[in-house]
Structure 1
Amino acid sequence: MFYAFYDEIKNISLDEAKICDFVLGYISSYEFDNVCNAFDLPKNRVETLGYYKYGECVCVCLDKIKIYIRHGFVIIVCDNPKEKLPIFHNVLSKLDSTDAGRAKIIYTFIDELLTEEAGIHAEFQKTLAVLEKQILDDRQSENLNRVLYCEKQKCISKSNYYSKVQNIIEELKDNDFDLFDDDEMKYFDNLSNKITRLRDDVRTIIDSIVHLRDAYQSAIDLKLNNTMKLFTVVTVIFAPLGFITGWFGMNFKNMPLVSSPYGVAVAGVISVAVTVGMILWLKFKR
């Protein structure tokens, strides 16, 4: 799809686009070879996120999207054009044929992409809220640490992505080949500010994940402490009983109560008295 900017934005063919003073293109990677020949684009395809210069053409690579910029065109190449087509339609709806310059087109398109990123951040926050509720309700899954680790790695990847996009914006502001007018630099400043806010949001989410993992570890430690406390109490209570059992189990000839018909009863009373006494002592000490 190619668009020319007259009194209104008009959809045109590739042949018409070749003779226009300025066009906006949105194509798939499969159409790249034909468009490459028509507009003399660099034939070596860029796959790495970054900013590249080829002759008088600038290429901006944003993951699976490439933007080729020259005085006569802005061409967006998308590996999956149907996926980003709603974003491109939003860009067209925000452009005015009277002031649709290169900088504004790039700003509007990247701004739409970053708006989509804000929605991803909201999903991160919802996921963390669910995990936090599970920890508070003591019904977290056994693989919670793995889930938190995966979420943290996603956020770190996002932070790295924003850093590279920030570098791209700084390169665009250098205005190689005088592609942008001075009064258009404000668009790149706006993008830079928005990316900074997104990076700050991601860092906040990473901090939340770290705190959540600490809370999860604290919950595990508390549960372990309660279990050890229970075992300790049981051990303290039954230790005297073990001593009594060992004492009366010794087979000495002159052992008291060995021949007495009340020996078992006496031993039982002593054991119960010791157990009750230990429980009362522990409650008093608490």
Structure 2
Amino acid sequence: MECYQFTDNQFITSDVDTATLRCIPFDQLETVAAENGWPSTMITEVLNAKNDAYVERYRDHMLFSLTIKNHTQLEKNEELVFIKHAQSALLFYDDTLRTPQDYIDIINYVYSQIGDVDDANLLIPYALTRYDLLTDRTFLRDLENTILELELSLTREPKNPEESILSLRKTLSIYKHHYMSLIDLFEDITDDYRELLTLEAARDYQRILNKLNRLYKYTTMLGEYVSQINDRYRAQIDLNLNKTMKTFTILSAVFLPLTLIVGWYGMNFQGMPELESKYGYLYVIILSISILIGSLLYIRHRGF
């Protein structure tokens, strides 16, 4: 467990007695809880809160659940649980992904951007989310360029575009759900807990909420873009299939009369003068070629 106090608009390392913020790894939760006499219900609250972004208000504290994204490895997203008491706060994190000082550096960086901070602990969810969103628009713009390249490649018969389409749809679905969860979280803060916020804090949370709404709409637009490309690809597959079927139909129509002739004269019935004539073979060849040429000319004339 690492302890910090807020001084001169930033968090600095402190001892336990003067700390206003304690950072605790999830794997040390039960040990720290036993040392401090925390109730077992608190352990359950923290562990259950790791699943999604939300805020919950209890009798003596508020609980926030956040997710910090990893753009390159989505399976390594960081789950954070933040508990705010009246004068102190607890930040639970996964120590296999970051150190507590990493989070403190993030918080201090954001606080340096917004100026004087009235309630440092209450703005920690805002600071972590704001920093997390710094690269989201660039990431989504790169995704849009990838989608555009995929669309252009459809004219060049790309290899396995289904895999790219499914991967893009999965990624966009994850981000859409992420933004939707954060929107619900910050709407709850700005609507249900406004009395706890100072005027500046309320404005900060409203600004981050507006940004999340824009990112959510951008992600939704990209999802619709991918769906349109998928529909276009399916239509192209159907068109190519129709062309193939058309080719086979033409070939069948051309060679069907020849098949009939072969079957007819191949029966070797008595009384077929063509079989007894020395020109019979030549006659069948000329007849077959004439039918073949006539069929091709007819098909070409009809524009098939």
Same fold (TM over 0.5): yes
Relative to 1, partners in 2 of residues 1:174 and 1:31: Cα closer, same or farther, differing over 3 Å?
Answer: farther
Question: Conserved in 2, the CA contact under 8 Å of 1:152 and 1:206?
Answer: yes
1:69 aligns with 2:84: yes
Tell me the distance in 2 between the aligned counterparts of 1:87 and 1:118.
Answer: 22
Matched, 1:101 2:98: no
Structure 1 runs not aligned, ≥5 long: none
Taking the TM superposition and a 5 Å limit, the aligned residue runs for 1:7-86 are 7=8, 9=10, 11-15=12-16, 18-19=17-18, 23-33=20-30, 42-44=42-44, 45=46, 46-49=49-52, 50-63=54-67, 64-80=79-95, 82-83=97-98
Equivalent residue for 2:75?
A: none
In the other structure, the counterpart of 1:280 is 297
CA distance, structure 1, for counterparts of residue 32 and residue 15 of structure 2? 8
The 5 Å alignment of 1:235-274 reads: 235-274=252-291
Aligned residues: 280
Q: Match for 1:9: what amino acid?
A: Q
For residue 176 of structure 1, report the CA deviation from its aligned partner.
Answer: 4.1
Q: Does 1:89 align with 2:105?
A: yes
Assess, with a 3 A threshold, how the Cα gap between structure 1 residues 120 and 66 changes in structure 2: closer, same or farther. farther
Secondary structure at 2:50 match in 1? coil
CA offsets 1:36-83 (integer angstroms, 9 cap, x no match) = 566969443233422122322111112411122233234332124644
CA contact (8 A) 1:4 1:11 kept: yes
CA offset at residue 193 of structure 1? Answer: 0.7
**Which AA in structure 1 matches 2:132?**
L
The CA distance in 2 between the partners of 1:75 and 1:19, in whole Å, is 14
Counterpart Cα distance in 1 of 2:11 and 2:231: 57
Asked if the contact 2:6/2:12 (under 8 Å) is kept, the reply is no
**Partner SS state of residue 115, structure 1:** coil
Q: Supply the distance in 1 between the matched residues of 2:37 and 2:140 (Cα, whole angstroms).
A: 38
CA distance 1:58–1:280, shift in 2 (3 Å): same
Instruction: Decide which of 165, 176, 183 is 1:159's aligned counterpart.
Output: 176
User: How far off its partner does 1:148 sit?
Assistant: 3.2
Instruction: Tell me: CA distance 1:76–1:104, structure 2 relative to 1, closer, same or farther (3 Å).
Output: same
Seen in structure 2, the aligned counterparts of structure 1 residues 183 and 282 have a Cα distance that, compared at 3 Å, is: same
> For 2:276 and 2:11, how far apart are their aligned partners in 1?
114
Deviations, residues 12-48 of structure 1 (Å, cap 9, x unaligned)? 2342xx335xx34444223445665669694432334
Structure 2 Cα separation of the partners of residues 98 and 163 of structure 1: 30
> For 1:33 and 1:13, how far apart are their aligned partners in 2?
22
Partner of 2:270: helix, strand, or coil? Answer: coil
Cα distance change on mapping 1:10 and 1:155 into 2, 3 Å:
closer
Relative to structure 1, is the Cα distance of residues 8 and 91 closer, same or farther in structure 2, using a 3 angstrom cutoff? closer
Q: Is the 8 A contact 2:3 2:13 kept in 1?
A: yes
- State the Cα RMSD in Å: 3.1
2:117 aligned partner, one-letter code: D
After TM superposition, give the deviation of residue 117 of structure 1 in Å: 4.1
Q: Which ranges of structure 2 fall in alignment gaps of 5 or more residues?
A: 68-78
- The 3-state SS of whatever aligns with 2:157 is coil
| Deviation of 1:114 (Å) | 2.6
Question: 1:264 corresponds to which letter in structure 2?
Answer: Y
State the AA in 2 paired with 1:201: Y
CA distance in 2, matches of 1:273, 1:8: 96
Tell me the TM-score normalised to structure 1 length: 0.82
TM superposition score normalised by structure 2? 0.78
Q: Distance in 2 between matches of 1:257 and 1:104?
A: 101
Q: Distance in 1 between matches of 2:214 and 2:32?
A: 36
**Alpha-carbon distance change, 117 to 100 in structure 1, aligned in 2, over 3 angstroms:** farther
State the shift of 1:3 in Å.
3.5
Q: Does 1:121 align with 2:140?
A: yes
Is the CA contact 1:25–1:74 (under 8 Å) kept in the aligned structure 2?
Answer: yes
Q: 2:118 touches 2:198 (CA, 8 Å); kept in 1?
A: no
| 1:183 aligned residue (194, 200, 221) | 200
